[in-house]
Structure formats: C-alpha cells, structure tokens
Structure 1
Amino acid sequence: MQESKLKNYLLLHLIVFIWGFTAILGALISLDAVPLVWYRMSLAVIFIVLYFIIKKKSFKVDARGILKFFVTGVIIALHWIFFFKAIKVSNVSVALVTMSTGAFFVSLIEPIFFRRRIKPLEIILGLIVIFGLYIIFNFESQYKLGIIYALISSFLSALFSVFNGLFIKKYSGGVISLYQLFFGVLFISIYLLFTNGFTISFFEVVKLDWLYLVILSSVCTAYAFIASVNVMKYISPYTVMLTINLEPIYAIILALFIFGEKEKMNPEFYFGAFIVLFVVLLNGIIKNKTLIKNKIKEKTVRKK
C-alpha cells in the first residue's frame, strides 16, 4: 500500500513537471499561437479518441452536455492561444508566474456559480498577488504585453476550471476533455476559415516543430490528463494541490537551463514572483485546512 502511494506521488511530480514543460515547448515551437493551439488540440483529440477505442469507452453524451462542452471548448482554446501568445512576446518565466493568479480568479468566479460569499481573506491574498505583479510589471516593463496576455489566459483558465468543477459531477473526465478539445479545434477552424488562415504556409510545419507538437499533444495533453485523473484516486486533494503549485518553479528552472540569458530577469522580478507563488501556496494550504476541518465536523455530526 505504502509502495503504491509512493509510486503515485512520484507519478504526480512527473505530471506536474510535464505540465511545466508545456511552456518550454511553446517557446521552442516556431509556429504562432493560433496554429500552435490548433495543431495541439487536433492531435490531442486523435490521441484521446484512440485511448477511448482501446479502452472501449463510450463516446455518448446528451444534448445539454454538447452545448456545455462547446462553450468551454471555446474558452479553453482562447486560454491556450493567449498563454502561448504571452510566451511568444515575453518568456516562460513571465508567463507562468502571471498564470499563477488563476487561483485568485477562481476565488472571485466560484462564488457566483457555487452561490457562496467571497471570503475577506481571499480578497486580501488577491491584493497581495496584485502587489507582486505590480513589482514585476514595474521593473520588467518590456514584458507588459506578455503579462496582459497571461492575465487574460489565467482568467479564462479559472473560468473553465469552475465550469469543469460543475461538469465533473455528471460526466467523466475523459468525456469532458475529449469534447472540449474537439469543440476548441472546431472554433479555431471556423475562425481560420473566415480569416483565410488556412494558407499553404499554415500547413508547412518544419520537422522539429512536428516532433515538439506530437510531444505537446500526446505526453503534455492527452497522457498528462488521463494520468492525473488516475493519480487522484490514490492521493489526497491536499497533496495534489501542493504539488501542482510547484509547476511554475519547475518550468522556470528548466527554462533557465534551456534558454539561458533570455530567461534571466532582474532581482525585482524574482521578488515579485516569490510574493505571487508564496501567496498562491498559502491560499491552497488555508483552503485545504478549512476543507479538512469541515469534513471532521461532518463526521462528528453524523456520529451524533
């Protein structure tokens, strides 16, 4: 039992490392953000469909689910487009630190859909994050556009995360992922058709980019998603949350090794980044402690 838990914990770290590597691949691929996301989502759909066929899983979903997945598929596509745009106009470090604000966007959006009050502590922590971003914004002014793109991407990420929190109560993770990715591809395809984006140059992808795209869509998208769902069966949400918060740190260290000087920032950036990442981690610890307390109270009430 202990050996199985350790195995899954190490697997979780590998998954988080893979998610961090997504940003590295985004910087390495020479394609612009829109074609990059189109290829990523298209290939990921193919890989997940193959997974469904091998595992003999059902593709069936109701009409209401189709509509829900279409809307969130569009949101996911836009989220990835702005994420890769942020990397292209700035760098991996700036994009990932700014993306860490997603937890606080969730804190603002979640109460609307789950009908709860916004907690004062969430507002305070959110303001501290804004202060950290202000430091980065002020001292790394050449990356302003990248920060803005990453903030938009972070908000969209929070939006579809909240929606998926509602969907998972009725649909399996595999079904949600498959249809959202499919509709994301459909949305981008319609956009490209109307803007005459499907040119000859669009399909002229260099061999190295194909290699990176296959890794991005198979390992970093299809595999990471399926593996993360399986890991959550054996590891507590608290451990999962703490480990996921290491993603920007893994990616920033990796980017420094791969891209060198391009990823080296002013000391003020790392101070601002520390504030953002520390508050995100603190927020997760506080939330999970509250969750554990509530569960203990529920068990106590049931025993009575």
Structure 2
Amino acid sequence: MNTILKSHFKLHFVVLLYGFTAILGKLVSLPSPQLVWYRMFIAALVLGIFMRLKGIPFAIGKNNIIKIMGVGLVVAFHWITFFGAVKISNVSVTLGCMASTTLFASFLEPIIFRKRIKWIEVLIGIIIISGLYLIFQFELGYLKGILTALTSAFLAGLFTVLNKLFIDKHHPVTISFYEMGSGFAAITIFLAFTGTFNGKMVPPSTMDIVFVLILGVICTAYAFVAAVDVMKVLSAYSVVLAINMEPVYGILLAFAIFGQSEYMSAGFYIGTAVILLAVFLHPVLTRKMNIRN
C-alpha cells in the first residue's frame, strides 16, 4: 500500500474518531463540565509527554501563550455545549447541527481578518440556513438541543478561525497543548467556585473512566497528532473533504449503537443532507474559483 493511500485510510480513521466523540459523550454518565474537565486534563498530559519525547518546543513567548490560552477557553465551552447537546437531545441532532460550523467560520473569518465576504460563502450560507430551517421545522421537540448544538457549532467556527492566527507561527501540537491546559484550568476554577469539589462531584463509574480515557487519549490527543501527520502527505483540500464526513460517520455509528433512540423524522435527514451538500460544495467551489484566478 503506497503512502498516499495509507494517509487517506489514516485520515478517515481520525474522522471516524471525531464522530465517535459524540457516542462517548452519550455513554458517559458525567455532567458535561466534568466530562470536558477530564478530557482536557488527559489530552494536555498526553500532548505534553508527546512534545517532550519529540522535542517540540514549549517556549513560544508569554504573550503568545496568553492569546492561545484564551482560545482554549473557547474550545472548552465548545466541548461543554457539544456534550450538553448530546445529553439533552441525541447524537444525530447534535452532529446534524454541528455540520453548520462551516457557515459560522465563513462569516467569522472575514470579520476577524478584515476581509471581504466571498459570494461563494454567502451562497453556501443560504443553503446551510435552509437545511437548518428544515431541521427546526420538523424537530421542535429537540429545540433546546438544537440551540445548544448551534452554539457549539458557532464556538467551533470561532476557535477554528482564531487558530489561524497562530498555526503558521507555532507547532500545532504546542498550540493544542496550551489550549487543552487553559481549558482544564478554567473548568477547574468554575467547578471550584460552584462548589462541585465539595461533595457535588459526580463520581465516575468504571465504564466512565474507560470511556473518558478513550476520549482523552485516542479521540483527542492521538486523533490530533495523526491529523497533523497526514497533512504532510495529503492536500488541505483532501483533508477538508474527509473531515466533512464526521457527521455522517457519527450518525451511522449512533444508529448501530443506540438504535431506536436515534431515529429521526424524514425532514431531519433532508435538512441534514442539505447542510452536508453545502459543506461538501464549499471546498469544491472554492478550489474551482482559485484555479480560475
């Protein structure tokens, strides 16, 4: 098997792991803040060890660390709302709405980087909004979960765009290490102020510990390092297309594992298909426009 084919298999395995995080969020009985607290601690620890073994630099300047740690707070809140949406609705609803991350990123990027909004992104945005309308129309029983998932999608788009400020200047693993560490610290402060550590902490079951370790080590630390590794071989276009499969893989896994509780109305699947169509069209149309220019 050649290197390119191996990298494609590896990339799709990583995307499968991304989709599996929603499954783990439903399986773990812990409240969302506690779940993310464990996840970020484990991920920061594993990434720190990896950096030490590989000689990846920790020192990137005090101001840069502070800025990156600020993005880590956004990541933490994104994950809290993501798992919160899974718990109050289901995996399908959450991942269907998370596909709208592209919409938020396409409008946030011009604002943050002071660029003009491209007509392609406006078109994609209109298609995604129409898909969201269909989901809202047919799944009002999951309204709270939909709104929470959309909040999570907005935050995902925000930290994705903000990370572009650092990705060309610092090693991506270093960026993730400080983001995981700052998120863990912020949630620790939150849990301390809310008195969670004083008898309100939900004790994890044996299976919770197993699932959280899988989430932190495999679905977070390993998945990120592996994604960075395949980018050395595959084009950014190939990576973006593959990552767009996350909702598809996640929803299929949810069907296989949870069965009846994940069945939705026909309107939901039509709306999700419209959103996914827009998400796949985005890199294709952007690439064609770049080639013409």
TM over 0.5: yes
Aligned ranges 1:20-99 → 2 under 5 Å: 20-99=19-98
Shift of 1:201: 4.9
* C-alpha RMSD over aligned residues: 1.3
Whole-angstrom distance in 1 between the partners of 2:237 and 2:69 = 31
Q: Which residue of 1 aligns with 2:103?
A: 104
Q: Which residue of 2 aligns with 1:302?
A: none
State TM-score, norm by structure 1.
Answer: 0.93
Secondary structure in 2 matching 1:198: helix
Aligned ranges 1:259-274 → 2 under 5 Å: 259-274=258-273
Shift of 1:55: 1.7
Moved over 6 A (4+): none
Whole-angstrom distance in 2 between the partners of 1:28 and 1:290 = 43
Structure 1 residues not aligned, in runs of 5+: 295-304
Whole-angstrom distance in 2 between the partners of 1:78 and 1:293 = 40
Whole-angstrom distance in 2 between the partners of 1:287 and 1:37 = 34
Query: Per-residue displacement from partner, 1:170-209 (whole Å, max 9, x unpaired)?
Result: 1110110000110001111111111112134526210000
Aligned ranges 1:226-265 → 2 under 5 Å: 226-265=225-264
Shift of 1:53: 2.1
Whole-angstrom distance in 2 between the partners of 1:288 and 1:90 = 36
Aligned ranges 1:150-229 → 2 under 5 Å: 150-202=149-201, 204-229=203-228
Whole-angstrom distance in 2 between the partners of 1:71 and 1:293 = 38
Q: Which residue of 1 aligns with 2:136?
A: 137
Shift of 1:252: 0.5
Whole-angstrom distance in 2 between the partners of 1:241 and 1:247 = 11
Shift of 1:292: 4.1
Question: How many residue pairs are counted as aligned between the two chains?
Answer: 293
Structure 2 residues not aligned, in runs of 5+: none
Secondary structure in 1 matching 2:60: coil
Paired letter, 2:51: F
Q: Which residue of 1 aligns with 2:279?
A: 280
Shift of 1:239: 1.0
Q: Which residue of 2 aligns with 1:12?
A: 11
Change beyond 3 A, Cα 1:208–1:143:
same
Whole-angstrom distance in 2 between the partners of 1:136 and 1:206 = 35
Shift of 1:135: 1.1
Secondary structure in 1 matching 2:201: helix
